[in-house]
Structure 1
Amino acid sequence: MTLTTWLVLALVALSVGVSKSALPGLSTLGVALIATVMPAKESTGLLLLLLLCGDLVAVSSYWRQADWRLLSRMLLPVLGGVLVGVVFLARVDDLVMRRTIGAVLLALLAVRAVRWFVDRRSARRAERDAAQDGSGDAGAADTADMPVAVVASVPAGEPAAQRPHLGVGAVYGTLAGFTTMVANAGGPVMSLYLLSVGATKLRFMGTAACFFFATNLVKLPFSIGLSLVTVDTLRTALVLVPLVLLGAVIGRRLLRSIDQKLFERLVIGLTITASIFLLR
C-alpha cells in the first residue's frame, strides 16, 4: 500500500477510537474515507475489525450505563436486519450499497426534524397555556425550545430513557442491523434512535457500546464467509490497533468536556455529513 493509503487508514483508525468513546457516528465518516483508498467490500472487512477493537474499549468504559431494556427490545429486529444485509451484500455492487445507506439515513433525519418541530410547538403551546392558567413555573422556559425527547432527560439524578414504542424500536433495530452489516454504518441509525428516546450522554454511550459490540460479533462469521475479513485485512488491522486505542483515550477526555445539548448537535451533524458522503 502507498503512503497516502496508510495515512488515510491511520486517520480512520483514530476516528474509530474517538467515535467509540465520545462521538458515535464519527466512524461512519471513516466508512467514506476508507472507501476512497480501498475497494468498498474489502474496506468493510477491515473496518469491522477496527470497530471490534474500539468496541472492547467502549464496553469496558461504559457498560454500567447501558440501558438493557432498550437493547432487549431491539434484539430480534437487529438480527433480522443483519440477515437481510447479508443477502443484500451478496447481490449488489458497492455504489448501490453506499447510496442505499445514505438515503436511509437522510430519511431518518427528515423524520426526526419533523418530530422536533412538532414537539417544539407542543412545548411552547403547553407553556402558554400554563402561563395563562397561572400555573407556569420558571423551569418551563428553560425547556420550551427543547424536543420532548430531550426534555425527558432534564430532571435531576440519572433519568431513564423514554419507553419507546415497540414499532419504532423494531424499525430502528432492523435498519441498524441492515446498515451495520452492509457498510458498518449502523452508528447514525442507533444514534437517532437513542436521541429520540431522550438517552442522556453516558446512557447513550453505554447502550451504543454494548449494542455494537454484540452486533459486530454477530457480523464477524458472516463477514468471514463473504471473504470481507481475510488474513490480509487482519494483518492490516493489527498494525492500526494502537491508533484505535489512542483515539479512544482522546475521545474519553473529549466526552467529559461536552454538555448534553452540544453532544446531541454534534451527533446529528456527523450523521448528516456521513449520509452525504455515502450518497456521493
Structure 2
Amino acid sequence: MPRPRHPSSTRRWAQRACDVPDLAWFAWVLLGIASIVVGLSKTAVPGAGTIAVAIFAAVLPARRSTGTILLLLIVADLFAVTMYRRSANWRALVRLAPAVVAGVLLGVWFLAFAQDEWVKRVIGIILLGVIAVTLLRRRLQGLVTDAEPHRLAAATYGTLGGFTTMVANAAGPVMSMYFLAARFPVKEFLGTVAWFFALVNVSKVPFSLGLGLITVPGLLIDAVLVPLVVAGALAGRWLAGRLPQHLFERLVIGFTIVGAVYLLVA
C-alpha cells in the first residue's frame, strides 16, 4: 500500500494551492487596471491589449504572466464574440488560418529555447516594422484600397500574428494592422478580431500547459481579476458604438506604437 501523506504536509500543500499569491497592493492595482484594459481591447480598441501584457510582465514573472493573462484574454474573447458574432468576415479568417497555425508552432519552438529578453526585443522590432509598413501603404494611396489584402499580406501577417500571440500574447497590434489595411468598418473589424483571437487563444491552452505557463497561482489571480475584465468588456461595447472611424484607427495605431516601444526598452 502507498504510504499516506502526513496530515501536516497535506494541510500545507492544500493551503499553498488555495492561497492567492501575496502581492503588494500597488501590484494588485496595476493588475486591475490591466484587466480592465483587456476587456476594453476586445470590445472597443484592439491593440490596447499590448499595454495589459506589458503590465502583467512587469508585475509577475515573465513566463507566469503569459499564462495568467491568457485565461483573462479568453474570458474577454467570449464577451467579444457574443457582442460581435454576426459581424465577422469569415473569408478573411479562413485566408489567415494556415499562416497563423505555422506561426503558433514557430512560437512554441521559440519559447522552448529563447530567453525572455530575446522574446521582448524580437516582438518589439516586429511590431514597429509592421506599423511602418502599414503607414507607408496608407500614405501611398495606390497600394491601399477597399479590397481585401493580398494573399502575401495574409501569409506574412498571419505568421507574425501566430508567432507573437504564442510567445507573448502580443498579436493584437499585428493583426490590427492587417485588418486596418483591409479597411473594415468598426463593427466588422471588431467582429473579425473577436473570432480570430477566440479561436487562437483557446488553441494555445494545451501548449501553454505543456510549457508550464499556466500555474495554480496564476489561476487564483485570474479568479480575482475576472470581474474587472467583464466590466472592461461591457464598457468597451458602449464605447465602440460611439467611436468615429478615423478616431478608432488612430487609437489602434497609437496603442500599437506604445506597446511596441515598451517591449523594446523594458
Give TM-score, length-normalised by structure 1.
Answer: 0.85
Q: Deviations over 1:115-140 (max 9, x none)?
A: 12211xx5xxxxxxxxxxxxxxxxxx
Residue identity opposite 1:202 in structure 2: K
- Structure 2 CA distance for aligned equivalents of residues 164 and 178 of structure 1: 20
Aligned to 2:172: 187
Say if 2:154 is the partner of 1:169: yes
Alignment equivalent of 1:100, drawn from 109, 122, 128: 122
Alignment equivalent of 2:235, drawn from 220, 229, 250: 250
- Structure 2 CA distance for aligned equivalents of residues 78 and 63 of structure 1: 21
- Structure 2 CA distance for aligned equivalents of residues 63 and 256 of structure 1: 15
Residue identity opposite 2:70 in structure 1: L
Aligned to 1:205: 190
What is the root-mean-square deviation of aligned Cα atoms in Å? 1.1
- Structure 1 CA distance for aligned equivalents of residues 257 and 248 of structure 2: 14
SS in 2 for 1:11: helix
- Structure 1 CA distance for aligned equivalents of residues 47 and 148 of structure 2: 23
Alignment equivalent of 1:235, drawn from 213, 216, 220: 220
Aligned to 2:62: 40
Alignment equivalent of 1:223, drawn from 201, 208, 213: 208
Residue identity opposite 1:217 in structure 2: V
Shift of 1:220: 0.5
Alignment equivalent of 1:117, drawn from 121, 129, 139: 139
Aligned to 1:14: 36
- Structure 1 CA distance for aligned equivalents of residues 128 and 148 of structure 2: 24
Shift of 1:35: 1.3
Give 5+ residue unaligned stretches, structure 1.
Answer: 123-146, 153-161
Aligned to 1:133: none
Aligned to 2:104: 82
- Structure 1 CA distance for aligned equivalents of residues 231 and 27 of structure 2: 19
- Structure 2 CA distance for aligned equivalents of residues 279 and 7 of structure 1: 24
- Structure 2 CA distance for aligned equivalents of residues 191 and 29 of structure 1: 14
Count of matched residue pairs: 243
Give 5+ residue unaligned stretches, structure 2.
Answer: 1-22
SS in 1 for 2:183: coil
Spell out structure 1 runs of 4+ moving beyond 6 A: none
Shift of 1:177: 0.3
Give TM-score, length-normalised by structure 2.
Answer: 0.89
Conserved 8 A contact 2:57-2:65: yes
Q: Deviations over 1:21-77 (max 9, x none)?
A: 100011100111111111111100111011000000000000110000000001110
